[in-house]
Amino acid sequence: MKEPSIINLASLKDQVYEYLRNQIKVGELRPGSHINIEETSKQLGVSRTPLKDALLQLEMEGFVTILPRKGVLVRQLTIEDIKEYYEIIGALESTAFLSGYDKINATIVQKMKNLNSEMIEAIGANNFTLYFQKNLEYHDIFLGLCKNKNLAKITDNLKRRLYHFPRREGYLKQWEESSIREHVELTRLIEEGKKEEAAAFIRDVHWSFKIQEKFLKKLFQKQEGYVPLVEKSGESRE
């Protein structure tokens, strides 16, 4: 029997990865639940190898924890996780912005303005799926200009961990509207050539946990898989 090629195996692993990540995103695989490798392998009709490879990638990205002889656990997202992700993403995204700043021109600024307008229209129509898409496109503009592609990739992976966590309501309109106002301010700073101020705004405002905390708590608290931040005394801050 002819052995499958490395390319086919890689493609199969990617397909399994995308399937599992989507199952986590839509809530079919709930935080705190276990993934049985044997059962999942049979369900998908694949061998254990591409499944294990996919799970290893998901573990590296923070979606699951592989427990020796105990299977695979879908990770819960704590408010401490969110706080740390915001700090890391803010630092990385502002660095990515500075890296690609010299490539920004009037055409790119206009594209950012157009995306802001499309986000405003999407929110006005309560089309949160379209808003989310345009929001990613806005950030991808300067992430795509970054000279350090590994930096951009790491930032994207961390965002996936945040955005693909199952949410009870899914969206918080006040937060999206606040985010749009921040995009407008950031675009203004970029258009005026205020490079350092724009980078600081990305890091210290747009990705500031302290500033966004009120929205984060309202969206995530009391949801399955959410673990609140606990003080050293053992008492929750919630």
Q: Print the domain residue range for 210.
A: 78-227
Question: Do 70 and 99 lie in a common domain?
Answer: no
Question: Do 139 and 195 lie in a common domain?
Answer: yes
Q: Are 89 and 49 a contacting pair, CB within 8 Å? A: no
Dump pLDDT digits (tens) for 89-134: 999 999 999 999 999 999 999 999 999 999 999 999 999 889 989 9
CA distances from 180 to 121, 157, 208, 225 (A): 11, 22, 15, 28
What's phi and psi for 153, nearest 5 deg?
A: -65, -40
Dump pLDDT digits (tens) for 30-89: 888 999 899 999 999 999 999 999 999 999 888 999 988 778 999 887 888 889 999 999
Residue 11 exposure: Cα atoms within 13 Å on the Cβ side: 5
Place of tokens 């276990």: 34
Residue 130 exposure: Cα atoms within 13 Å on the Cβ side: 13
Other CB atoms within 10 A of residue 226 CB: 23
| DSSP collapsed to 3 states, 31-51 | CCCEECHHHHHHHHCCCHHHH
Residue 209 resides in a domain: yes
Does this model's pTM top 0.75? My answer is: yes
Place of tokens 């303005």: 113
Domain final residue, candidates 75, 106, 121 = 75
Q: For residues 215 and 189, give the distance between their C-alpha atoms in angstroms, rounded to a whole number.
A: 24
Dump pLDDT digits (tens) for 141-199: 989 999 898 998 888 888 888 876 655 445 788 889 999 999 999 999 999 999 999 99
Place of tokens 């008492």: 235
Q: For residues 99 and 108, give the distance between their C-alpha atoms in angstroms, rounded to a whole number.
A: 15
Share of the chain above pLDDT 70, in %: 84
Question: Do 56 and 96 lie in a common domain?
Answer: no
Count the domains in the chain. Answer: 2
| DSSP collapsed to 3 states, 80-132 | HHHHHHHHHHHHHHHHHHHHHHHHCCHHHHHHHHHHHHHHHHHHHCCCHHHHH
Q: For residues 87 and 157, give the distance between their C-alpha atoms in angstroms, rounded to a whole number.
A: 14
Question: Do 62 and 104 lie in a common domain?
Answer: no
Question: Do 101 and 211 lie in a common domain?
Answer: yes
Q: What's at 40, amino acid-wise?
A: T
Question: Do 33 and 48 lie in a common domain?
Answer: yes
Residue 154 resides in a domain: yes
